[in-house]
Amino acid sequence: MKEIDIHSRPVLSYRWAVFLLAAGYTVYNILFNEWTGPGGPFRYLTIWALVLSFYAASRMLARSEKRIERKHEVTAMVAAVLNGMVALLYWRLFLIDPSLVNGGNEIIWWQEYYLHGLGPALQIIDALFIGRVFRRIWRAVLPLVAVIGAYILWSELFVQRFNDSPTGSVTSGLPYPFMNSMELAERGMFYGSNMVVALLMLAGFAAVGWVIRRFL
């Protein structure tokens, strides 16, 4: 079917909006938000996804403005999946018990709904409907696994070691409260299951992308 003109005014306007939102939230969360403890905002996978969103949005905008030729499809795929994974995990746990993810601390509404809702949705919409990047998805498998694996190692080897809170029944320092009540083997299973979820999400987006390219 007909490809979207990524240089058109509507696409440029959309990508500027996505970029400015991602840039604003990235700057705010890294430089101005109140983070305590070693690792700061980078203790949280949500912030990793936000930074990747900012980078992906900048590349998509640069493509639309004809400043670069490289399509950055892998970047867009990984950003979409990581953001989708963050949103899925957050709301699944939040609906069970908000303290599982925020330790009983209140999250500002405009932070919560952008970081775990609007932001991921904007990235996914661009990747599926505008950029239509979910082609040859095997290219994104290794980068996706690498990003998630790097976050796991960072959490276990640095964040847990150098932070005293939050605390749980088993350990302390891991960024999300519920993880501190899990044994290492349980956490390993949790990490592995979420790696599988990420790969399934990549495959799911590829299937949706095929339908969009075929019928829209």
Extents of the domains making up the chain: 9-215
d(CA 171, CA 163): 11
Q: Which two tokens stand for residue 137?
A: 């998805």
Contact 131, 6 (CB under 8 A): yes
Query: Using CA atoms, how far apart are residues 200 and 26, in angstroms rounded to an integer?
Result: 28
CA distances from 55 to 70, 163, 169 (A): 14, 28, 38
Task: Give the DSSP H/E element, type plus range, for residue 137.
Answer: none
Residue 34 pLDDT: 80
Q: Which helix (H) or strand (E) holds 3?
A: none
pLDDT of 104 reads 64
pLDDT 10s digit of each residue in the chain, 216 long?
Answer: 567 899 999 999 999 999 999 999 999 999 988 888 899 999 999 999 999 999 999 999 999 999 999 999 999 999 999 999 999 999 999 999 888 887 667 788 999 999 999 999 999 999 999 999 999 999 999 999 999 999 999 999 999 999 998 999 999 999 998 999 999 999 999 999 999 999 999 999 999 999 999 888
What's the pLDDT score for residue 194? 95
Q: Give the pLDDT score at 101.
A: 81
pLDDT of residue 98: 85
Q: Residue 98: what residue type?
A: P
Distance CA 165, CA 37 (A): 8
Give me the pLDDT at residue 1, please: 57
Give yes or no for a contact between 102 and 166, defined as CB atoms under 8 angstroms apart.
Answer: no
